[in-house]
Structures are given as C-alpha cells and as structure tokens.
Structure 1
Amino acid sequence: MFLITGATGGLGRRIVRLLREQEMPVRAFVRLMSRYAELEHRGAEIFIGDLQQEKDIKKACQGIQYMIGAHGSDGNAAALDYRANIELIDRAKDIGVKHFVFISVLGADRGYENAPTFKAKREVEKYLQASGLNYTILRPSGFSSNLLPLAEQFRQTGIYLLVGDPKNRTSIISTDDLARIAVNSVSTPAARNQILPVGGPDILKREDIPHIFGRIFNREPIVINPPLLLFDAVRGAFGLFNPNTGKSLGTLRTLLANEFFCTTHEIANVESIFNLKLESLESFLRRYLGV
C-alpha cells in the first residue's frame, strides 16, 4: 500500500494514476473540499484528512509500506512543508515503511533565508536522511504543468508576464516524468538513499518560454518584463497590512530572482538511473494543449 499526500495536486494526481495503472494499492490523502472523484474512480482508497492534524496522519499511515510526500505548502510552509512532513517521517519510522519518497525543491541546500518553503524542505531533507528510513529525495526545478494556465492565457491574449531577469536559466521538468520517477524510486536500487536534482532535458532561459508559447500558438509573444524591484514594492505593501503574506512571498521572490536548472550531467544521471528519456517542455505543452 502506497500513501500519497497532495494526491489531488498536479503531481500527486499523476502519481496515483500511474500506481493504479500498475494495479498497486494506493491510499490518497485528500482534503474534504478537494476534487478526488477521479482518484476514487481509478480505485484509490480515499482518506479525507488534514495534514496539520497528527491524529489524521496517524490514521492515514496504518498499513502503509511506501510513502510519497507530494503535498505543497498552500501558503503555510511551517505547518505543511515542515511539521506535516516531520510527522509523516516519524510515523513511517514507527510502522517500518520500506521507502519514503520526498518531493523537495531544487536549491533547497542554497541557504535562502527569506524563502520559507526552501528552508522547510531542507530541514525535512536532513531529518529524513538521519531517520534510518530508505529514502529518495527529488529536487525538481519547476513543474511543467504549472505553465498550462499561463499557456491558456497566452492563447487568448498573446501576452506573457515575465518578472525579473529574462536571462535566468531554468530546466522545467515534465510533471509526468517526475511522477514516473517518484513511483519508480521505490524499486530502483540506484535511487535508494539519494538526493537527485530533477529537471527537463533542455536548459532554457526564462525568456525562451514565451517564444515556446509563440511557436505552439503561431503568434508573436508580447512580453511584459517588469523589474524585480516592482515585485519588491508590491511585496512590501502587502507586508504592511499582513506580515505573514509578506513573508510567504519570500519564496516566490527567491524563485523569481535566481536560476534553477539542472546541469547536463545531472539530467543524464537521472535518465540513466531510471532508464528514460526526459520530455522537453515544448513537447509536454503540445500534448496537453492539443496543438
């Protein structure tokens, strides 16, 4: 039995689908108001709970052999990115889970002090490494599925908002590839007790993304490129009225201000370990956009 947290998210939903296609038993940890009908239809066992409640985590973990932590912070890094994951690891130790797959973030080890999600995920990484559990830590450089809403907006308007340095590099991973890697990590000896940066096969500049959209939809992109200073001003204004919101925007600011890409060696290493050919961002978008 696999326990998947964040099961209705872009990544978690794909992980559940893959496991059910392999006829593996899956328990999907979901919130009551989330959309989980598809997962139930595929034969996943639905556990409705709250990752901020220890009693819910304890119940969800009963009879589990494998865990894949794919949930996000939902704006609350301390509670969800940190405490919930620590509790999941503790429960995994108590019941003798065979393998724990944790979805971290590329750059978690860089010491970004003003990025709550990065700090939380790095502390969870260290806790998991010291736990005695078999683990795989995956550090993706961004999910391709997160660009689908932006692509649909571009389809309608031709406009792309690019905040910050357009020359910053990225290597966005196909969310389908990441799901496959997460699932296969539990049965791939070379992935055991490893931290693996995971990115797409192409190292792109951020300014390349609107041009990919332009090729897909056959229109010239209109790129609006406000400086990062404008974001800082808006963040500061939010912080005056809601300090917690200002702090949470620190993670987004970090993502906008820095480069997040895997090296060609890291990309080749992942392809070798999992015996797959990683999908390009453009290929992923074309598949989902039907173009």
Structure 2
Amino acid sequence: MILLAGGTGTLGGVLVHTLRDANMPFRVLTRSSHRAASLKVAGLDVVIGDAANPADLTRALSGCTAVVSAISGFGPQSGSTPPAVDRDANINLMESAERAGVRQFIHFSMHGASPSHPLEVARMKYAAEQRLMAGRLDWAVIRPTTILETYTAIMGDSLRKSGVAVVFGHGDNPVNFVSALDLAGAVVLALRGGLGNQAVDVGGPDNMPLNELAALLIERNGRGRAVHIPLPLLRAAAEGARLVAPSWGRVLGGAVHLGAADMTFDAAPERIRLPGVPFTPVREALAVADRPA
C-alpha cells in the first residue's frame, strides 16, 4: 500500500489517475473532508488528516510500505506556509513513516532547491530533502521545473472567466515547463525501484516564453487576450502583500521570479536516468488536457 499525501491538488490528481492505471494500491491523505468525499465516491481509499499531526499519520500509514509526498504550503489555498508544510510537515511525515516501518519515501521538491534559493518554498523543500537523505528510509527526490498544469490551470481559469491571460513581465523570458504526466511517470519508476536513493531534476522538452504559452492557451480557449503586468509593479505588489496577506505575497514573489530569473533547463541529459518516463511537449500536454476524462 502506498500513501499519497497531497493527492487532491493539480499534480495530485494526475498522480491518482496514474497510480490507479498502474494497478498500484494506494491511499490518499487529505485535510479536506469535501475532497475526501469526492474521492470516496470514486472508490478510493482516503484518510482525512494532516501530515503535521502524528495521530492522523498513524491511521494513514497503517499497512503502507511507501509514501509519495506532494504536499505544499506555497499557495493561498493551502491555508498554511512553506515552513509549516514543505519543511516541517514533510519531516514529520518522514519520521512517522520510519516509526511505522515504511520502506520507501518519494519526495517532491523543486528544481534548484537550495539553502540560498530566493524563494522560501525552495529553501524549505531543500531542508526536507536533507532530512530524508539522512534518515533510514529508501528514498527518491523528484525536483520538477515549473509544472505546466499548475500554471495553465490559473491562466486558463482567468481566460474562461474574464478573457484575459495574465503574463508576468515582458513575457519573453523562456521557462522550462514539465507536464504532471511526466512527473507521475517518474513516481511510478521510483516506486518500482528505478530511482533508489537518487535526486533527479525532471524538466520538459520545451523552454517556452510566457507570451507563447499565453497564445497557445488563448487559441485553446477560442478567445481572449494577453495582459502584461510589469515586473516593477509585481515587485511592489509582492512587498505590500507580504505585510497584509503573506500567502499572496509569496505567490506574487513567485511570479516575479518566473518573469525575471533564468528558468531554462536542458532536461535531455537528466532524462537518461528516467527510462520509460514520458517526455511530453507543451502542445501535447495541452491536447491531453482537452480530451474527455
């Protein structure tokens, strides 16, 4: 039995489908009773609980031999913070897994995670990585570049509601986008022992400017236009939001990073370590998202 923590987000939804299609028995840990109800309707094994609560984890980990952690406290909908979730809850989950006799732990970090990364979430994920690597569990760390479906869900929702695709900065900054389909494939490979005690950066084949991605999404939506938010305005908004709405301050700070930092990545060399894992171009991933479920 596999425990999937973080199985109700954008990435988590793809992981649920992939594990089910691979006939791998799994249980989902979620804090949301509403989301738990919809998963149970689909016939899934679900535990309502918090990765920060050892008592909840005792129930969730019962009978499990592996854990996949895709939890995060970055976004405003998480209701928490990167130190509380990306570092502390992940470490609590690792320690509880050790006590429960779990053998394997797969941790979602992020490309470039380090103790000096400008984004707090990357520093917290790095701290969790270090605890995992120093522990008793067999492990794998998956470090995605920018997850395509997370970004397109936000931009696509804005397009559907207001006809506007928001682009951070001038929009010419290339970004490496990786599909959640590829990440789910890397998880299956890791669960089958193909990434034993390794950390791997997982990117996609496309380094795509935000303007190009916006154009693709506008075409897919059938209408809309791109609106650019200048980086100086984003920086000022991020600083102000940190004082009154820290979660939005984090999101806006992430937007500044996406629009200004070097977000390119040559994924091909690292892909040698991922045999059988899909290498999905942006256009193909968007086409998959358009297919009926």
Band the TM-score falls in, shorter-chain normalisation: 0.7 to 0.9
Q: CA deviation at 1:240?
A: 3.9
1:162 equivalent among 161, 167, 181: 167
2:184 equivalent among 170, 179, 186: 179
Identity of aligned residues (%): 26
CA 1:13/1:227 → structure 2, altered by over 3 Å: closer, same or farther?
Answer: same
Cα distance in 1 for partners of 2:243, 2:11 equals 34
Q: CA deviation at 1:166?
A: 2.1
Deviations 1:112-136, CA, capped at 9 Å, x for gaps: 24x2211110101111111132111
Runs of 5+ unmatched residues, structure 1: none
Q: Which residue of structure 2 lines up, in the alignment, with residue 285 of structure 1?
A: 286
CA 1:41/1:177 → structure 2, altered by over 3 Å: closer, same or farther?
Answer: farther
Deviations 1:87-140, CA, capped at 9 Å, x for gaps: 111122223322111111112127224x22111101011111111321111111
Q: CA deviation at 1:171?
A: 1.9
Cα distance in 1 for partners of 2:250, 2:181 equals 31
Question: Structure 1 residue 54 and structure 2 residue 58: aligned?
Answer: no
Q: Which residue of structure 2 lines up, in the alignment, with residue 122 of structure 1?
A: 126
Using structure 1 for the length normalisation, give the TM-score. Answer: 0.86
1:94 equivalent among 74, 99, 111: 99
Question: Structure 1 residue 269 and structure 2 residue 272: aligned?
Answer: yes
Asked if structure 2 preserves the Cα contact closer than 8 Å seen for 1:118 and 1:251, the reply is no
Q: CA deviation at 1:248?
A: 6.7
Q: CA deviation at 1:212?
A: 2.0
Cα distance in 2 for partners of 1:36, 1:145 equals 22
Asked if structure 1 preserves the Cα contact closer than 8 Å seen for 2:115 and 2:123, the reply is no
Cα distance in 2 for partners of 1:244, 1:207 equals 26
- C-alpha RMSD of the superposition: 2.6
Runs of 5+ unmatched residues, structure 2: none
Question: Structure 1 residue 141 and structure 2 residue 142: aligned?
Answer: no
2:199 equivalent among 195, 198, 218: 195
Asked if structure 1 preserves the Cα contact closer than 8 Å seen for 2:203 and 2:267, the reply is no
Q: Which residue of structure 2 lines up, in the alignment, with residue 225 of structure 1?
A: 228
Asked if structure 1 preserves the Cα contact closer than 8 Å seen for 2:164 and 2:225, the reply is yes
Cα distance in 1 for partners of 2:174, 2:120 equals 22
Q: Which residue of structure 1 lines up, in the alignment, with residue 214 of structure 2?
A: 210
**AA at the equivalent of 1:12:** G
CA 1:188/1:79 → structure 2, altered by over 3 Å: closer, same or farther?
Answer: same
Cα distance in 2 for partners of 1:242, 1:174 equals 30
Question: Structure 1 residue 23 and structure 2 residue 52: aligned?
Answer: no
Using structure 2 for the length normalisation, give the TM-score. Answer: 0.86
